[in-house]
């Protein structure tokens, strides 16, 4: 599929009714399953007993299972995890196409276990089409954005093969003559982030809600964005209002993941409408039984209908969502959802310095020796690290060095960081997992 075709089909589906969307899903699911069964050794084995293509009867997949058989999952047999590891060992390759065909992304996801995800050209084109037609919740914000030069600043991790960083770098490499996008490293000193944003004067500001909430406290930040779009964490009502009051613009969010792409985009009513033409979303309970609209799920199964190099079909995410099928006042016919997003904590230290959870998250997930982690604040200047690693002592030594260096860059010296005897654990009441847990006062 070419980019113009992806754009046309996505635009046509914007106001499609549920019958049309269901027909689109069925057609695209059939094509994806047939292709996966033919080209992927993993899916050929998984679907060996498949008689007909019926979504509910397709076996489920999950991160651990898929990543354990990654070489067999890819539909291009020339791609192997060893070649990917070699490619990603060079950070200069961020945003570049492996073999001239595939973008490579890395993510730990909400469970803390790493994932490797490839995007083919169709996946990239569909992502571009969805971004073009569904990014903005309100027309007036889009018009202001276009009027002011489409200048976009993202405050994300500006290193590594993360989705936000990789896609931004990819676009910059494709169109180096356009100076409309910058990525500001979320872990840079606050003064440097402010300097870059003030100099660039973005029309659109994007980033993690907790980080943007901290930046909003700096009176030196003198920008007037037309819109703020958050991602990566739950946008709470409190943070949404704080950003609105501080910057005087509309604040919105979206729901995406590396494996599923752009799952849902916000409308003018504040509802997250599912991009049902390109992704199938199935809310299920803990036993994988479907849950009805209006009922909160224990997890969700997603099927990415555009990724043919690494098919994600009925792929388990640990997100808890509520699907709504009642009409939305915005006029769109696609269903919309509520999500219980990532709820890691902002840490406050004895000096009063605050650190957003994503800063710690991005540092620790970059350490390859760590398979899973949890950073817990036990006193104002004391942290303990719970981790799973083949060699916990060596992994902790690397983590200690990286965390200490980062904290010192924030003028936090003397913070004690210890290795915990406990393993990472979910909350005993909610069952949800946090990577970063702040001191409870």
Contact status, residue 134 vs residue 178, Cβ threshold 8 Å: no
Q: 């890691």: which residue's tokens?
A: 344
| Residue of 151, 240, 247 whose CA lies nearest to 200 | 151
- Burial readout 72-97 (b: 16 or more C-beta within 10 A, e: otherwise): ebbbbeebeeeebeebbeeeebbbeb
Q: In a 3-state reduction of DSSP, which class is residue 67?
A: helix
What was the pLDDT predicted at 180?
A: 84
What was the pLDDT predicted at 371?
A: 80
Check whether 112 has a pLDDT greater than 70: no
Q: In a 3-state reduction of DSSP, which class is residue 75?
A: coil
Q: In a 3-state reduction of DSSP, which class is residue 14?
A: coil
| Across 56-65, 170-179, 194-203, 330-339, least confident range | 170-179
pLDDT over 90 for what percent of the chain? 70
Contact status, residue 126 vs residue 261, Cβ threshold 8 Å: yes
* Cα gap 338→272, rounded to integer Å: 7
Vertex 54: Cα angle to 51 and 56 (nearest 5): 120
Which pLDDT band holds residue 193 (cuts at 50, 70, 90)? very high
| Across 283-292, 337-346, 380-389, least confident range | 337-346
Residues whose CB is less than 8 angstroms from the CB of residue 14 and which lie 6 or more positions away in sequence, other chains included: 133, 134, 332
Range 1-342 has CATH code 3.10.450.50: no
For the chain, where do the domains classified as CATH 3.40.50.12780 start and end? 1-342
What was the pLDDT predicted at 425?
A: 83
Q: What is the number of other CB atoms lying within 10 angstroms of the CB of residue 129?
A: 26
Check whether 430 has a pLDDT greater than 60: no
| Residue of 356, 387, 350, 359 whose CA lies nearest to 371 | 387
Contact status, residue 306 vs residue 298, Cβ threshold 8 Å: no
What was the pLDDT predicted at 108?
A: 58
Highest mean pLDDT pick, 194-208, 343-357, 360-374: 194-208
The interaxial angle of helices 392-409 and 357-365, nearest 10 deg, is 140
Check whether 402 has a pLDDT greater than 60: yes
Q: In a 3-state reduction of DSSP, which class is residue 281?
A: strand
Contact status, residue 35 vs residue 53, Cβ threshold 8 Å: no
The CATH classification number of 347-437 equals 3.30.300.30
Check whether 109 has a pLDDT greater than 70: no
What was the pLDDT predicted at 306?
A: 97
Report the pLDDT averaged over residues 265-287: 96
Check whether 424 has a pLDDT greater than 80: yes
* Cα gap 346→151, rounded to integer Å: 29
Mean pLDDT, rounded, of the chain: 91
- 353-389: pLDDT as tens digits: 989 888 888 888 778 888 889 999 999 999 999 998 8
- 294-322: pLDDT as tens digits: 999 989 999 999 999 999 999 999 888 99
The interaxial angle of helices 121-134 and 3-13, nearest 10 deg, is 40
DSSP code string of 343-378:
-PPPEE-TTS-EE-HHHHHHHHHT-TTEEEEEEEEE
Q: 């979303």: which residue's tokens?
A: 281
Report the pLDDT averaged over residues 81-105: 94
Check whether 433 has a pLDDT greater than 80: no
**Share in percent of the chain as helix, strand, coil (round to 5):** 35, 25, 40
Which pLDDT band holds residue 258 (cuts at 50, 70, 90)? very high
Q: What distance lies between CA 185 and its chain's CA centroid?
A: 16
Contact status, residue 120 vs residue 32, Cβ threshold 8 Å: no
For the chain, where do the domains classified as CATH 3.30.300.30 start and end? 347-437
What was the pLDDT predicted at 8?
A: 96
* Cα gap 397→131, rounded to integer Å: 41
* Cα gap 341→239, rounded to integer Å: 14
Report the pLDDT averaged over residues 131-155: 94
The interaxial angle of helices 3-13 and 18-39, nearest 10 deg, is 140
* Backbone phi and psi for residue 352, each to the nearest 5 degrees, phi listed first: 95, -10
133, burial (CB in 10 Å: exposed 0-12, middle 13-18, buried 19+): middle
Which pLDDT band holds residue 232 (cuts at 50, 70, 90)? confident
Higher pLDDT, residue 430 or 227:
227
What was the pLDDT predicted at 416?
A: 96
Q: Which two tokens stand for residue 180?
A: 């409309």
| 100 φ/ψ sector (left φ>0, alpha ψ -120 to 50, else beta) | left
Q: What distance lies between CA 436 and its chain's CA centroid?
A: 17
Q: What is the number of other CB atoms lying within 10 angstroms of the CB of residue 412?
A: 17
What was the pLDDT predicted at 340?
A: 79
Contact status, residue 282 vs residue 288, Cβ threshold 8 Å: no
What was the pLDDT predicted at 113?
A: 64
Task: Output DSSP code: residue 55.
Answer: G
Which pLDDT band holds residue 341 (cuts at 50, 70, 90)? low
Report the pLDDT averaged over residues 201-210: 93
* Cα gap 434→432, rounded to integer Å: 7
Which pLDDT band holds residue 187 (cuts at 50, 70, 90)? confident
Report the pLDDT averaged over residues 174-179: 74
Check whether 98 has a pLDDT greater than 60: yes
Report the pLDDT averaged over residues 405-432: 84
Q: Which two tokens stand for residue 277?
A: 């033409």
Which pLDDT band holds residue 230 (cuts at 50, 70, 90)? very high
Residues whose CB is less than 8 angstroms from the CB of residue 385 and which lie 6 or more positions away in sequence, other chains included: 364, 373, 374, 375, 376, 396, 399, 400, 403, 417, 418, 419, 420
Q: Which two tokens stand for residue 27?
A: 């057609």
Check whether 110 has a pLDDT greater than 60: no
């Amino acid at each position: 599929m070419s980019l113009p075709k992806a754009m046309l089909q996505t635009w046509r589906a914007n106001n499609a009714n549920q019958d049309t969307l269901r027909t689109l899903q069925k057609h695209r699911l059939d094509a994806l399953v047939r292709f996966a069964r033919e080209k992927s050794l993993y899916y050929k084995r998984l679907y060996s007993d498949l008689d007909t293509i019926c979504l509910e009867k397709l076996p489920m997949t999950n991160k651990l299972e898929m990543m354990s058989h990654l070489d067999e999952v890819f539909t291009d047999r020339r791609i192997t995890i060893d070649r990917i590891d070699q490619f990603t060992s060079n950070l200069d390759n961020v945003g570049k196409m492996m073999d001239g065909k595939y973008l490579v992304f890395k993510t730990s996801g909400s469970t803390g276990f790493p994932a490797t995800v490839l995007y083919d050209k169709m996946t990239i084109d569909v992502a571009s089409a969805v971004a073009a037609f569904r990014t903005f919740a309100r027309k007036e914000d889009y018009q202001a954005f276009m009027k002011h030069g489409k200048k976009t600043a993202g405050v994300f991790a500006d290193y590594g093969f993360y989705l936000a960083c990789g896609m931004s770098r990819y676009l910059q490499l494709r169109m180096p003559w356009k100076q409309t996008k910058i990525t500001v490293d979320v872990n840079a000193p606050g003064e440097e982030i402010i300097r870059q944003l003030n100099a660039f004067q973005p029309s659109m500001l994007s980033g993690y809600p907790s980080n943007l909430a901290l930046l909003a406290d700096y009176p030196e930040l003198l920008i007037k964005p037309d819109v703020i779009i958050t991602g990566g964490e739950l946008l709470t009502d409190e943070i949404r209002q704080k950003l609105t009051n501080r910057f005087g613009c509309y604040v919105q969010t979206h729901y995406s993941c590396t494996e599923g792409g752009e799952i849902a985009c916000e409308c003018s009513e504040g509802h997250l409408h599912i991009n049902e033409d390109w992704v199938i979303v199935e809310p299920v309970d803990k036993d994988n039984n479907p849950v009805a609209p209006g009922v909160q799920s224990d997890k969700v199964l997603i099927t990415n209908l555009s990724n043919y190099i690494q098919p994600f079909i009925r792929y388990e995410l640990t997100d808890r969502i509520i699907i709504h099928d009642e009409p939305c006042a915005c006029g769109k016919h696609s269903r919309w959802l509520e999500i219980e997003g990532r709820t890691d904590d902002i840490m406050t230290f004895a000096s009063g310095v605050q650190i957003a959870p994503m800063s710690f998250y991005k540092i620790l997930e970059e350490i390859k020796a760590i398979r899973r982690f949890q950073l817990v604040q036990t006193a104002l200047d004391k942290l303990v690290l719970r981790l799973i690693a083949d060699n916990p002592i060596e992994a902790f030594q690397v983590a200690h060095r990286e965390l200490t260096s980062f904290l010192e860059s924030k003028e936090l010296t003397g913070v004690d960081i210890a290795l915990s005897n406990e393993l990472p654990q979910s909350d005993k009441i909610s069952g949800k997992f946090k990577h970063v847990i702040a001191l409870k006062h």
